[in-house]
Amino acid sequence: MTVEFSLPIRVYIEDTDAGGIVYYVNYLKYLERARTELMRTFGLERAAVSDAGWNFVVSNVSLSYLEPARLDDQLCATALISGVGGATINFQQTVRREDAVLVSGEIQIACVDRESGRPKRLDADLRAQLEATLAATGETV
């Protein structure tokens, strides 16, 4: 069972502004990829969309941009589950270059009914897996 998931990312020219620095919104993409791959470890092949009629959507984001990343940097995007609610999952996330934290923050995703867009309780099996992961980190639900 994965506690903190880590995804290697290389910075390409398409990720940068005219000065060769990663454009701020691209960090959100890096973090999304790490969350998606973490959720795959729980058996969700399409981590944002279910055949059971629900979707995951981002419901809250709080990020701190601490240092810039640049063209050709080798980065690591991380995702750690920090809380589980009835219809939500909270993550602590970072983008790092070696030991330097470039971006850190908290992101919450919500499970919603695909048709109505209203909150939908997490699947019981998925919730149990998430809670076991939380227990492994020493966090509480």
- The pLDDT tens digits of the residues spanning 28-64 come to 999 999 999 998 888 877 655 566 788 899 999 999 9
- Least confident piece of the model among 6-15, 46-55, 115-124: 46-55
> Pairing relation of β-strands 100-113 and 74-84?
unpaired
pLDDT at 93: 98
Give the active site residues: 17
- Cα separation, 47 vs 32, whole angstroms: 10
- Other C-beta atoms closer than 10 Å to the C-beta of 140 total 9
* CATH numbers and ranges of domains, the chain: 4-137 (3.10.129.10)
> Pairing relation of β-strands 88-97 and 74-84?
antiparallel
Which DSSP category does 117 fall into? -
pTM: 0.89
The residue to which tokens 């070696």 are assigned: 98
pLDDT band (50, 70, 90) for residue 136: confident
What distance separates the 2 farthest-apart alpha carbons in the chain? 48
Contacting residues for 50 by C-beta, under 8 A, at least 6 apart: 44
Asked if residues 38 and 2 have their Cβ atoms less than 8 Å apart, the reply is yes
